[in-house]
Amino acid sequence: MTAQELRRMYVEFFKERGHKEIASASLLPDNDPTVLFTTAGMHPLVPYLLGEKHPLGSRLADVQKCLRTCDIDEVGDDTHLTFFEMLGNWSLGDYFKEEAISLSYAFLTTKLQIPVSRIAVTVFKGEEEIPRDEEAARVWKEMGLKEEQIFYYGRDENWWGPAGQTGPCGPDTEIFYDTGKEPCGRDCSPSCSCGKYVEIWNNVFMQYSKEADGSYKPLPRKNVDTGMGLERALTILNGKDNVYETDLFIPVMDELKALSRVAYSEATKRTFRIICEHTRAMTFLLGDPKRITPSNTEQGYILRRLIRRAIRLLQKLGLKQNVLCELASVILAQYQEVYPELKENSSFVLEQLEKEYELFQKTLDSGLKKADHYLSLLQKDDILSGELAFKLYDTFGFPVEFTMELATEKGICVDIQGFEEKLKEHQNKSRKGAEGKFKGGLADNSLQTARLHTATHLLHGALRKVLGDSVYQRGSNITNDRLRFDFSFERKLTPEELQEITSIVNQAIAESIPVLCEEMTPERAKKEGAIGIFDNKYGERVKVYSIPGCSKEICGGPHAANTGELGHFEIVKEEASSAGVRRIKAVLTEGPNLTQL
C-alpha cells in the first residue's frame, strides 16, 4: 500500500460516514502556545474542542502534518521521526465512545484487513475520582476482542489533558498491533518496549473538565479526538520493519545513495536515515505557509539544527558540496500534490537551503577546528566544561549538538547543564532543549486570551495600513499576559511607525466596534477581501471575523464580542524574528488611556 492510498482510504472512509474533510493546518500552531510546533492533529482544533462552532459541522476528518522535537536524538532508529503525518477524526459533541470505537474497529478490520487476533487495546483503569472506563472495555468486547486483548492502565498511559491548567480532558483507549513476536515474559503487554506491540491509533474521550480546585466535572458536551500515525501504519501494512522501506522515504534514500556513491550498510544506515528524515522535516518547515526560516531562536533554531546536522552528516559521507537542494527537490516533487504549499514555496525552500549552507560553511570549519582542539586536551571519560561548549556556540556559531556528537565519538561527556546555565545567563531566556513553555494561551480559552487574540486582528490591520498590503501574518503566540505577532517585513520599524500603529489600534478600541462572525465559502471570503492563505485545501465553509473598518480575516477564534472590551493596547517590543520577518510583543492594560497617545 502507498502513502497516498492510505491517506485517501482513511479520509474517504470517514466522509462516507458523515465527516467533512478539513485542511492540514500550518506546522506553527495558532491555538496552543505551550509548544513550538503542531505536534498533533488536535492543535488546530483547540477552539472547537473547547466549544467554538466549526463551520463544517460536528464530524471532521483530516491528514495533519506534525512535527515533534523530543525525538531528534533518536532519529535514525526504526521508529522515531521529527516530521510525521497524523490521520484523525473528530466528533465535536456528536458521537462518543461506542461509535468512535466501532468506527476505528471497522476501518482496521474491513479497510486495512487487520485480523482481530492482531489487535490489542488499552483503557483507563480508573483512580479515586475517575471511575474505570468500563464503557470502552465493553464496546471493545462487543466488537469481538477477548478479555486477554484488553489491558488497563493509569493516567500516564491512558489519559489526555487538559491542554492548560484547566479545561477539557478525559480517558483514552489506545489501539496496538500485535506483531506476532514471542512475548518478552509472562507480563508482556502493550506497555513493554520489546517490540511485540506497536501502537497505531488512539481515541481520546474528552468527557471531563478539570476545575481550578483540581476537581473533575462531567462535561455536558463531550468530544472525541483520534489520531493514527500515517508512517507507522504504513510500515505495518507493508510488512516492513521500519518506515525507510516505504514509499515515503525510498525516493529520497535512492537519491542520497546515488549522490554519495556510498553503500547503504549497517555502518552507514543511521547516517543515511538521519539525513533523509531531517531533509523531509526541513523541507516541510521551509515550505510551510507561514514560511519558517532558520534562526537562533525557537522554531527557527530547530530548523537550523536540522539543517546543520544534515550538512555535517553529508560531509561525513564524503559529500563536500551542497546536495541539500537535490534531496529537498525529491521531497518537493513527491509531496506537492498532497500539500500544494510545497509547490508554491519551492523556490523559497531551495533559496533558504542554499543560504543556510553557505552561512554554515563559514562557521563550521573554524568551529570544528576549535572543538577538536578543546577535545584533544581531554582524555576518554573526561568532561568538556559547559563554559567551553558555550564558547563554541556563542563565539564560533557551533551548535552544542555537534559538540556533543564529536565528544561522544571520542568517549568524552559534555557538561550540558553548565552550557544551559551560560546560555540562560547570556540570553536571559532558555528554551531548554526543543520545547518552550508559556502560561495560558488559547488552550485556556479565557476572556483575556480572547481579548488578546482580537487585538492581533487590530494589530494586523494597523500594520497593513501603515506599512502596506505586502504585510502578512507569519505567526502568533498568545499567553494570558501578552500577545506576540510575527509579520512579513524587511526592516526595523521606526518609532513614528510604532506610534501610529498603536494609535490606530487604540482608536479602534475606543470606538467599541462589534466583532462580527460569518460563515461563508472560501471563494466568497476571498472576493470580500478577507485575509487568509487561500489554497485548494480549505473546507467548504470558513469562519470570517470582521471588525468593520479595521480587519477581516479567516480565523477560528475565540474573540471578544466588542473592541471596547480590550482596554488599552501597548507595544512593548519590536524586533527581528528571522530573515524578512519582524516580531511585535504587546500587552493590554485595564481601560483605554488615549491621552498618552
Q: Which among 53, 167, 178 has a CA at the least distance from the CA of 115?
A: 178
Asked if residue 169 belongs to a known ligand binding site, the reply is no
Q: Return the pLDDT at 595.
A: 34
CB-based burial label for 496 (10 Å; 0-12, 13-18, 19+): exposed
Strand partners, 552: 546
Cβ proximity of 38 and 28 under 8 Å: yes
| Residue 529 confidence (pLDDT) | 86
Classify residue 281: in a domain, yes or no: yes
Q: What's the CATH number where 453 sits?
A: 3.30.980.10
The number of angstroms, rounded, from the C-alpha of 531 to the middle of its chain's C-alpha atoms is: 23
Start-to-end Cα distance in the chain:
63
Residues 118 and 215 both lie in one domain = yes
The residue among 186, 214, 240 that closes a domain is 240
Global confidence as pTM:
0.76
| 458: number of Cβ within 10 Å | 25
Q: Are residues 389 and 459 in the same domain?
A: no
- Note whether 520 and 413 are same-domain residues: no
Q: Which of 264, 263, 261 is nearest to 273 (CA)?
A: 264
Q: What is residue 591's predicted lDDT score, i.e. its pLDDT?
A: 59
Instruction: Note whether residue 441 is domain-resident.
Output: no
**Are both 92 and 222 inside the same structural domain?**
yes
Provide the pLDDT for residue 444: 54
- The SS3 of residue 348 is helix
CATH code where residue 108 lies? 3.30.930.10
Compute how many other C-beta atoms are within 10 angstroms of the C-beta atom of residue 215.
Answer: 10
The low-confidence residues of the chain, meaning pLDDT below 70, are 31-34, 163-164, 397, 426-446, 533-539, 557, 591-597
Q: Are residues 234 and 258 in the same domain?
A: no
Residues 451 and 412 in one domain: no
Q: What one-character DSSP code corresponds to residue 562?
A: B
pLDDT of residue 299: 87
For 398, the domain range is: 249-427
Residues 415, 489 within the same domain: no
Q: Does residue 440 lie within any of the structural domains?
A: no
Quote the number of domains for the chain.
3
Whether 433 maps to a domain, the answer reads no
Question: Domain end: 182, 213, 240, which one?
Answer: 240
Please check whether residue 540 lies inside any domain of the structure. yes
pLDDT at 360: 85
Q: Is residue 438 part of a domain?
A: no
What DSSP assignment string belongs to 228-295? EEHHHHHHHHTT-SSGGGSTTTHHHHHHHHHHH-----TTTHHHHHHHHHHHHHHHHHHTSTT-----
- Do the annotations mark residue 278 as ligand-binding? no
Q: DSSP letters of 464-497? A: HHHH-TT--EEEEEE-SS-EEEEEE-SSPPPHHH
559 is in an annotated binding site: yes
Q: How far is residue 421's CA from residue 417's CA, in Å, rounded to a whole number? A: 6
Q: What is the pLDDT of residue 437?
A: 35
Residue 384: inside a domain: yes
Instruction: Check whether residue 207 and residue 60 sit in a common domain.
Output: yes
Residues near 73 by Cβ (< 8 Å), separated by ≥ 6?
none
Residues 328 and 358 in one domain: yes
Whether 453 has a binding-site annotation, put simply, is yes
Residues 232 and 256 grouped into a single domain? no
Q: Which of 216, 240, 264 is the last residue of a domain?
A: 240
Contact 498, 486 (CB under 8 A): no
Q: CA separation (Å) from 237 to 154, 345, 426, 484, 576?
A: 29, 32, 49, 43, 46
Beta carbons of 122 and 160 less than 8 angstroms apart: no
Helix or strand holding residue 586 (H, E): strand 581-589
Domain check: are 526 and 423 in the same one?
A: no
Tell me, yes or no, whether 366 and 484 share the same domain.
no
Within-domain flag for 437: no
